[in-house]
């Protein structure tokens, strides 16, 4: 069945976009009005002074591929041409407005990419792009602690969330990292513009465009808390591209039509690109977005016609029932569709409903969100997809259309009657017992009291009482034995807190990983990635068929004979026949991650191995014939985000010989470490070994043929859902610079 647009929207789609852009262009003409000046002085105090004087302005763009100008169509523009990206268009408008006759110049433009639109003379705005496809917010923190401030920028434009949504970065980690990133900007006295992520076509619910919206809401909340400028590309783009639904269409059909129209943001030469993944904007979308961001900077963000309020209640089945009150704050009658979108593991059962509401009145809607099972507990109970780790509110995303346009709205709600917020996702130096701490969060306007018990596998505590005042939170704790399944070095299990309130019981589950601390020379098996994350109580065990690779580490603090100082890792592949691959395709990939930070004085910014921080894996490929490996470029700050040096990949030793991979990282690359050869001297380490699958086109590396030292991961729907990013230093195992085995563990809750 096909649906027609309502009569008010039966016009050329591109005419709508063009009119919107032209209308925006009338919003400001120099000099700015008093209101515009106050807005610029409020949000860009340092930059505005320079703009008025036409002094050189340096802008850094931190974010993902859309901010960089990445494209899959070289005929449209050169990939990485930031001047054609929405950030370039935005700055070009700014340059025009303040008479920067030299326009915008891209600093360190990639090879084959223009540095300027034209060679006109005069004052310039400089754009330094530190963005690229796939960058997550942890990379942003790495860059601001490494090289983002090398040229003393006046303004930083920050946009993360797309890759974080695809990687399922926890909201706790995302918000913490954004906060730390903004702290760095504040210390440098740099102006900041925060952007929400662009919408991408992945997810479920009323329309498959909601996966980035909780991250947009988190960025907006942080901007409000710190009085920073927040602009939302999602709502700028859904307006002209999404349009409205036919008033006669069924609710789900109407939201599906809007979703289909949104895909045109990614069309190249008027057609869908099957390789785009509906992530990277086309040139028309970049131009519209860049222009609209400029005018919203100047004139402010248009207000929605709706204000959402509501409640979220957890029921006995683990579902979340959301009651929404949608108030029409306009002067016109409004009717249309509200669609609920998936957030994490919460999936709406009936995803779209119609509404009709008079001016200054409210419409009531209700949505029930189910949570899929991800396994069975030791008691043979369903383990439901976990809620957020440490977030007092759940940000529910909706798409709202009113017969003329569409928009995204988010509704942050506390869970009723109670929810759990864990105080720390990491516990170190654990031996026989683990001390757990969390907050009970009361989502109601009345005091609550009840009982709770805590369990890890078969270890379950006695019931204890608790009480929490209305709309407050209160701490709780429990000590449980660390039950290690057999002679293993790493295992996963389920952790739960079961709460009884008002005669009903609610179980809050999390995943739990424990890895024994390693010492020098100690060989340990790697786990098969797919089976390891399948839980429950999954120990490191031999892969079916009887083979697992192993690894051990060694270290030399100074040169000894022919051996140079550095950290060594030896991966034993004995018993494996590497597949024969065609041409230059690698047969084996090894990823080595090291956290060499060491700040015994407790410097929060510098940190220490196992503290919160950012690392990046070193990737090495080997041919099936063995020999020297190909080491890919080493990211700045790879060994801990307090290091701002760039190291050559040629400095890494990497050889495959006699079924052993021998890796060496020079001591000079790990210069933040103290290199004391004792138990108290530690590094964080991670190893992943992947074997190519020659039966697939291009012989890819897949999770089915990967092995890892440890990984706080939940395996769901054939995807590894990371409890912690591979760039999060807390996800690594602990290596002690001692040769005496220890019985201490590092534990991660996710």
Structure confidence by residue, pLDDT tens digits, 538-588: 555 444 455 689 999 999 988 877 778 999 999 999 888 888 887 778 999
| pLDDT confidence of residue 7 | 36
* Torsion angle (degrees, nearest 10) of CA 44, 50, 53, 57: -120
State pLDDT tens for residues 382-402.
888 888 888 888 999 999 999
DSSP class of residue 7? G
Residues 6+ apart with CB under 8 A from 361: 327, 328
Confidence of residue 115 (pLDDT cuts 50, 70, 90): confident
| pLDDT confidence of residue 279 | 86
Name the pTM for this structure: 0.89
In whole angstroms, what is the distance from residue 718 CA to residue 492 CA? 18
Q: Tell me what the mean pLDDT of segment 205-221 comes to.
A: 88
In whole angstroms, what is the distance from residue 416 CA to residue 55 CA? 54
End-to-end CA gap in the chain: 44
Q: Tell me what the mean pLDDT of segment 659-673 comes to.
A: 94
With a cut of 50, say whether residue 21 has pLDDT above it.
Answer: no
Max CA distance (Å), the chain: 85
Query: What are the E-state strand segments in 252-343?
Result: 306-314, 320-328, 334-340
Please spell the DSSP secondary structure of 69-124, one letter per residue.
T--S-TTTS-TT-TTTSHHHHHHHHHHHHTT-TT-EEEETPPTTS-SBSS---S--
| pLDDT confidence of residue 56 | 95
Domains and CATH numbers, the chain: 30-202+209-236+282-299 (3.40.50.1110), 306-416 (2.60.40.10), 419-513 (2.60.40.10), 517-749 (no CATH)
Confidence of residue 77 (pLDDT cuts 50, 70, 90): low
With a cut of 90, say whether residue 530 has pLDDT above it.
Answer: no
State pLDDT tens for residues 47-76.
999 999 999 999 999 999 999 988 877 666
| pLDDT confidence of residue 148 | 94
State pLDDT tens for residues 441-469.
999 999 999 999 999 988 999 999 999 99
Pairing between strand 320-328 and 334-340? Answer: unpaired
Please spell the DSSP secondary structure of 322-357, one letter per residue.
EEEEEEE-SSS-EEEEEEEB-BTTBEESS-EEEEEE
With a cut of 90, say whether residue 607 has pLDDT above it.
Answer: no
Name which residue leads in pLDDT, 25 or 714: 714
Look up tokens 């569409």; give the residue.
406
| pLDDT confidence of residue 457 | 82
Residues 6+ apart with CB under 8 A from 286: 66, 69, 84, 85, 86, 89
Contact 430, 745 (CB under 8 A): yes
Contact 137, 178 (CB under 8 A): yes
Confidence of residue 715 (pLDDT cuts 50, 70, 90): low
State pLDDT tens for residues 401-440.
999 999 999 999 999 999 999 998 899 999 999 999 999 9
With a cut of 70, say whether residue 380 has pLDDT above it.
Answer: yes
Confidence of residue 158 (pLDDT cuts 50, 70, 90): very high
| pLDDT confidence of residue 546 | 53
Cis peptide before 520 (omega within 30 of 0): no
Compute the mean pLDDT over every residue in the chain, rounded to the nearest whole number. 87
Residues 6+ apart with CB under 8 A from 688: 529, 590, 591, 617, 706, 707, 708, 709, 711
Name which residue leads in pLDDT, 540 or 281: 281
Query: What are the E-state strand segments in 235-289?
Result: none
Burial class for 232, CB neighbours closer than 10 Å (0-12, 13-18, 19+): buried
């Amino acid at each position: 069945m096909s649906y027609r647009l309502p009569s008010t929207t039966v016009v050329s789609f591109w005419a709508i976009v063009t009119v919107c852009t032209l209308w925006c262009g009338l919003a400001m003409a120099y000099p700015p009005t008093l209101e515009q000046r106050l807005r610029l002085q409020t949000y860009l105090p340092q930059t505005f002074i320079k703009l008025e004087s036409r002094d050189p302005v340096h802008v850094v763009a931190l974010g993902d591929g859309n901010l960089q100008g990445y494209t899959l169509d070289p005929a449209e523009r050169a990939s990485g041409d930031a001047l054609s990206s929405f950030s370039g268009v935005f700055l070009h408008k700014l340059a025009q407005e303040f008479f920067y006759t030299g326009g915008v110049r891209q600093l360190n433009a990639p090879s084959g990419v223009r540095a300027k639109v034209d060679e006109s003379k005069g004052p310039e705005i400089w754009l330094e792009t530190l963005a690229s496809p796939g960058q997550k917010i942890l990379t942003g923190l790495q860059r601001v602690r490494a090289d983002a401030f090398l040229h003393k920028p006046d303004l930083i434009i920050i946009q993360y969330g797309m890759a974080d949504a695809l990687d399922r970065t926890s909201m706790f980690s995302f918000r913490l990292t954004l906060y730390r990133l903004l702290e760095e900007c504040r210390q440098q006295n740099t102006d900041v513009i925060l952007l929400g992520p662009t919408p991408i076509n992945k997810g479920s619910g009323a329309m498959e465009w909601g996966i980035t919206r909780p991250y947009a809401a988190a960025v907006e909340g942080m901007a409000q808390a710190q009085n920073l400028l927040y602009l939302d590309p999602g709502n700028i783009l859904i307006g002209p591209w999404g349009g409205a639904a036919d008033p006669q269409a069924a609710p789900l059909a109407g939201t599906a039509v809007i979703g289909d129209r949104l895909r045109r943001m990614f069309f190249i030469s008027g057609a869908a690109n099957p390789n785009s993944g509906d992530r990277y904007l086309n040139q028309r979308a970049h131009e519209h977005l860049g222009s609209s961001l400029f005018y919203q900077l100047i004139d402010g963000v248009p207000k929605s016609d709706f204000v959402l309020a509501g409640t979220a209640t957890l029921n006995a089945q683990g579902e979340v029932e959301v009651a929404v009150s949608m108030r029409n704050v306009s002067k016109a009658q409004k009717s249309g569709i509200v669609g609920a979108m998936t957030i994490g593991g919460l999936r709406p059962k009936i995803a779209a409903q119609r509404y009709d509401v008079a001016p200054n009145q409210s419409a009531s809607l209700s949505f029930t969100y189910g949570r899929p099972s991800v396994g069975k507990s030791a008691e043979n109970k369903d383990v439901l997809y976990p809620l957020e780790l440490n977030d007092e509110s759940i940000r529910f995303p909706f798409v709202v259309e009113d017969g003329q346009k569409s928009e995204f709205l988010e509704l942050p709600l506390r869970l009723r009657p109670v929810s759990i917020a864990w105080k720390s996702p990491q516990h170190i130096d654990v031996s026989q017992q683990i001390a757990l701490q969390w907050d009970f969060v009361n989502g109601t306007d009345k005091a609550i009291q009840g009982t709770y018990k805590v369990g890890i596998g078969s270890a379950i505590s006695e019931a204890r009482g608790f009480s929490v005042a209305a709309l407050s939170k209160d701490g709780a704790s429990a000590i449980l034995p660390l039950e290690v399944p057999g002679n293993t070095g790493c295992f996963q299990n389920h952790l739960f807190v079961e709460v009884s309130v008002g005669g009903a019981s609610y179980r809050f589950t999390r995943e739990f990983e424990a890895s024994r601390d390693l010492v020098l020379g100690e060989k340990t098996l790697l786990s098969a990635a797919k089976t390891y994350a399948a839980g429950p109580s999954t120990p490191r065990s031999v892969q079916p068929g009887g083979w697992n690779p192993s690894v051990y580490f060694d270290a030399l603090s100074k040169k000894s004979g022919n051996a140079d100082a550095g950290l060594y890792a030896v991966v034993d592949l004995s018993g494996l026949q590497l597949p024969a691959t065609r041409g230059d395709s690698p047969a084996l990939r090894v990823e080595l991650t090291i956290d060499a930070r060491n700040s015994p004085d407790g410097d929060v910014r510098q940190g220490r191995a196992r503290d919160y921080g950012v690392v990046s894996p070193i990737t090495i490929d080997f041919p099936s014939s063995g020999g020297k490996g190909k080491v890919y470029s080493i990211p700045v700050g790879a060994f801990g985000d307090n290091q701002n040096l760039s190291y050559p990949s040629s400095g890494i030793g990497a050889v495959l010989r006699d079924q052993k991979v021998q890796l060496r990282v020079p001591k000079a690359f790990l210069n933040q470490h103290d290199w004391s050869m004792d138990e108290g001297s530690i590094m964080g380490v991670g190893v992943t070994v992947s074997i190519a699958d020659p039966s697939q086109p291009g012989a890819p590396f897949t999770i089915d043929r990967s092995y890892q030292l440890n990984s706080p991961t939940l395996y769901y729907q054939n995807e590894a859902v990371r409890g912690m990013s591979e760039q999060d230093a807390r996800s690594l195992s602990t290596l002690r610079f001692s040769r005496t085995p220890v019985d201490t563990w590092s534990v991660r809750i996710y």
